[in-house]
Amino acid sequence: MTKKKSALNVMKGIDAPETVSKDAAKRFLAKRKKDLNVDETVKGILSGNISVLSLAITLIESNLPKHQVIAKNIIEKCLPYSGNSIRVGITGVPGVGKSTFIEALGIYLINKGHKLAVLAIDPSSEQSGGSILGDKTRMEQLSADKNAFIRPSPSSGSLGGVARKTRESIILCEAAGFDTIFIETVGVGQSETKVHSMVDFFLLLMLAGAGDELQGIKRGIMEMADTIIINKADGNNVHKAKLAQKEYENALHLFPPTQSGWTPDVLLTSAVNSTGIEDVWLNIKKYQKLTSKNGYWLQNRHRQAKFWMHETILESLKSNFYNDAVRKKQIKEFEKNVLEGKISPFEAAQELLDKYFKF
């Protein structure tokens, strides 16, 4: 039952022609219940079959141990065929025009012969109701294209879990022949750090006339951006956008230099009118050229791979400690005492750890 529920959940909003319907997903999982064939699935992925890819990601997202074992095997077999894409993180607060932007850039890329996968990380989607990428009416043109694969954020789980699943999905998408991967996130939480650690290039979408529109974006994100895009630079907004561009350029100039040797640019786009879109892509390619030459591109990928190994270890150690009903109660108690100044944070930690390791 859990399995079916999970399968249904992740199917939400992706029943575009090239993906599969809820019924197909149900039938697939029912059929595979007894005999899930790893090799067949891998073969399907490598041949670029989007239905198979989609269902394999469903397995990655499933929390059933049985599914996890199969997913693990699929990932390992796809691994040698992965890595050959440009991975781009795209963030910006709701209202900045992210989906229109992704649609415009996506169409541009597909017209140039690229294959594009769009994944999302938004651990808050369950609470907020409206998951990013979950709305079928968004990116209509892109989602109807056979060279595009759009996948909403896994609909539940901790940030660590969701991020890991997205990171694993990238491997399958690459094995399926997608040469460009977008990872979308909302710029309001902790997700950006995770996304930043799985992409080659990080785009931040902003609006002209900072002030109120920026309410909600998290501090620290600006300094992660490889390029800042001022979107909605159209109509009466053009002048304001140009001023903002100048301001951001000046601001970025004051930032410490990046490790990659790259100087972040500020670009103007109108996603609605599809203007400035090509410049964004040329900018990303310029970055790729520079960092491939100076070695940073590969260094960064290697650092990220190591990061994810240790990140996964950390997540497991944490969940082994924290996911325990008795301990949760103890932690609450200790937190209370810490806040009331009855015990130092260190002593509280020590006592909790003593109980953990003794057991």
Residues near its own copies (CB under 8 A): 72, 75-76, 79-80, 82-83, 164, 167-168, 171, 210, 214-224, 247-248, 250-251, 253-258, 302, 305-314, 316-318, 320-321, 334-335, 338-339, 341-350, 352-353, 357
Nearest to 99 by CA among 181, 212, 16, 185: 185
Q: Which residue has the tokens 């989607």?
A: 125
**φ, ψ dihedrals at 238, nearest 5°:** -60, -45
Cβ closer to its own copies: 140 or 223? 223
- As measured in angstroms, the least distance from the Cβ of 311 to its own copies is 8
CB of 284 to its own copies, least distance (A): 19
CA 89, 130, 103, 57 dihedral sign is positive
Instruction: Pick the closer one to its own copies by CB: 285 or 332.
Output: 332
CB of residue 253 to its own copies, shortest distance in Å: 7
Backbone angles phi, psi at 206, to 5 degrees: -130, 170
Judged on CB neighbours under 10 Å (0-12, 13-18, 19+), 222 is middle
- The contacts of residue 130 (CB under 8 Å, 6+ apart) are none
Closest CB to its own copies among residues 273, 312? 312
Supply the minimum distance, in Å, between the C-beta of residue 214 and its own copies: 5
Residue whose CB is less far from its own copies, 101 or 248? 248
CA dihedral 146, 9, 1, 42 (to 10 degrees): 30
Beta-strand relationship, 86-91 and 265-268: unpaired
- CA–CA separation, 113 and 117 (whole Å): 13
Take residue 105 and report the two structure tokens written for it. Answer: 């850039």
- Measured in residues, the chain has a length of 359
In the complex with its own copies, the residue whose CB is nearer, 110 or 170, is 170
Identity of residue 328: K
Looking at beta carbons only, is 235 or 341 nearer to its own copies?
Answer: 341
Q: How far is the CB of 281 from its own copies (least distance, A)?
A: 24
Instruction: Find the shortest distance in angstroms from Cβ 109 to its own copies.
Output: 26
Nearer to its own copies among residue 151 and residue 167 (C-beta)? 167
Minimum distance between the CB of residue 6 and its own copies, rounded to whole angstroms? 19
